[in-house]
Amino acid sequence: MPYEPLSNMQVRMRIKDRDPAFTACPVTAGGGRSLLVQVPRGDGGLPWVPPGTEVELLRKDGLRLVTATVRARTLRPVPSFAVELAEPLIQDVLYTPKEGRAILVTGGKGGSGKTFVSLGLGLLLAQQGARVALVDADLGTADIAVNLGLPREPHLGHVLDRKVSSEAALQQAVRPNLAVLPGAMGAKWGDPSVWKLGHLLTVVQELRPAYDFVVLDSRAGVGQDVTALWQGVDRVLFVTIDEPASMADTLSLLQAFGESGRLRSGALVVNRVHSYRDASDRLLGFARSVREETGKEIPLWGVLQEDPRVHALAAEGKLLIEAYPLAPTTVALRQLAARVQA
Ligand SMILES: Nc1ncnc2c1ncn2[C@@H]1O[C@H](COP(=O)(O)OP(=O)(O)OP(=O)(O)O)[C@@H](O)[C@H]1O
Ligand SMILES: [Mg+2]
C-alpha cells in the first residue's frame, strides 16, 4: 500500500484537553517509538511543558490523531519536542495511506458518451503513468469489456452477488497500468438491492488503496446506483452532448446532484461538439444556466469534438485514442485526464 509521509501534512499539537492548539510538523521518527515534533516559533511556540505531560496531536481539521507523552524538549536541529507514542500508532501518525481517487462518469442522457469518456480517461490516465482501475458500473447495459475486446465475465454483478471478489474479477494489465472490472449485461442486473449498492461502495473503497484512480462508468440518469455512487467518489463528471435536450437533462440531473450536497465534486464535460465556434454561445449559455440552477459554478473540464472516425474504428475493434493519439478529441481527453490528475 503506498504511504504518504505525514511530514507533508501539518498537524496541531495541544496539551491534552486544553486549548489552544499549536501548529506542529513531525520532522523525524526517532527510534521507532518517538516522534520529534517541531513547533514553529511563528505560532507563538508551545509553552514549556515538562516531560511526562500528555499532549494530543490533531489534524488540521481538528480530528484527534493520537495522545502522546512528551519525553524531552530539544533545541537542535530545530526547537522541538520529542514525544513518545504507543507503538501501533506510529504508523498511523507518520503515514497516512495514500488512497486513490474515485472518479464517476455519468450524465443525463443515454448515448452522450459516458463510456467513451470513461474509457478515454482510464486509458489516458494509465498512459500518463497512473495506476488505474476502470470499473464498468453501468449495471445491466455494460459495454466496456466489449469496447476493449475483453472477456465479459466475471463481472461486477457477480462481485455484488458475492460470488467473486473484486480482486478476482479485475482483469489486470489490460494495458500498462490499467485493470478493468467488466460490468453486468442483462436486465436481471439492472435493479440492485440496497445491500448490493452498499457493497458497490465497499468495492470502490477496497480498490482505492491499490490504485491511483478508480474510474467508474455509470448509466444515465438518477438511478439509485448512480446516486449511491455520488456519495462514494471524489469527483463526478457529468457528460452532456452539445444539444439543447441533453443540456436540459443534465441541468435537471445537476439539481438532484445539488440536493445531495455534493455539488463541489462536480465537473462538466461537453461531448460530440461539431464546431467549437458554433458551440461557444451554447456552451456559455449552458454554463450560465448551470450557475442559475445550482447557485454554484461547476467547472467545465472538457469540450470534446465529434470525431467521424470513431464509428469505423469501433467496427475494427479499435479506439480513437490509440489509433489517433493526436486527434483533437484525443488531445482534449488527454487534457481532461491532466485536469483529473491535478
Ligand atoms: N466524441 C465522439 N465522437 C464520435 N463518436 C462518439 C463520441 N463520443 C461518443 N461517441 C460514440 O457515440 C456512441 C455512444 O457513446 P457512449 O456509448 O460512450 O455513450 P453512453 O453515454 O455511455 O451511452 P449509454 O447511456 O448507452 O451507456 C458510441 O458509439 C461512441 O463511440
Ligand atoms: Mg455507456
CATH assignment of the domain containing 139: 3.40.50.300
188 and 73 in a common domain: no
DSSP sequence for 80-124 = EEEEE--HHHHHHHHEEE-PPEEEEEE-SSTTSSHHHHHHHHHHH
Instruction: Name the band, by pLDDT with cuts 50, 70 and 90, for residue 35.
Output: low
What's the pTM value of the predicted model, to 2 decimals? Answer: 0.76
Cell readout for 69 is 507523552
- Among 65, 97, 129, the domain boundary falls at 97
C-alpha–C-alpha distance, residues 108 and 251, integer Å: 8
Strand-pair category, 64-74 with 54-59: antiparallel
**Chain position carrying cell 435536450:** 245
Tell whether ligand 1 has an atom less than 6 A from the beta carbon of residue 199: no
69 and 195 in a common domain: no
Q: Domain count of the chain? A: 2
Residue 43 has pLDDT above 70, yes or no: no
pLDDT at 340: 93
164 and 288 in a common domain: yes
Tell whether ligand 1 has an atom less than 6 A from the beta carbon of residue 38: no
Q: Whose CA is nearest to atom 18 of ligand 1?
A: 113
Residue 10 has pLDDT above 50, yes or no: yes
The string of pLDDT tens digits covering residues 203-230 is 998 898 899 999 999 999 888 889 889 8
pLDDT at 199: 85
Which segments of 213-316 are extended strands (E)? 213-217, 235-241, 266-273, 300-305
What value does the CA radius of gyration of the chain take, rounded to a whole number of Å? 24
156 and 21 in a common domain: no
Q: Which ligand is nearest to the CA of 221?
A: 1
14 and 159 in a common domain: no
**Atom number of ligand 1 nearest to Cα 329:** 1
Q: What is the DSSP letter of 184?
A: P
Spatial CA neighbour of 238 closest among 281, 183, 287? 287
C-alpha of residue 21 to centroid of ligand 1, in Å: 53
Overall size of the chain counted in residues:
342
**Chain position carrying cell 439543447:** 244
Structural domain for 29, as ranges:
3-97
CATH assignment of the domain containing 22: 2.40.10.220
182 and 87 in a common domain: no
Please name the residues in contact with 73: beta carbons below 8 A apart, sequence gap of 6 or more.
48, 49, 51, 79, 80, 81, 82
Summary mean pLDDT of the chain = 83
C-alpha–C-alpha distance, residues 148 and 119, integer Å: 9
310 and 337 in a common domain: yes
Tell whether ligand 1 has an atom less than 6 A from the beta carbon of residue 110: yes
Spatial CA neighbour of 143 closest among 111, 185, 102, 197? 185
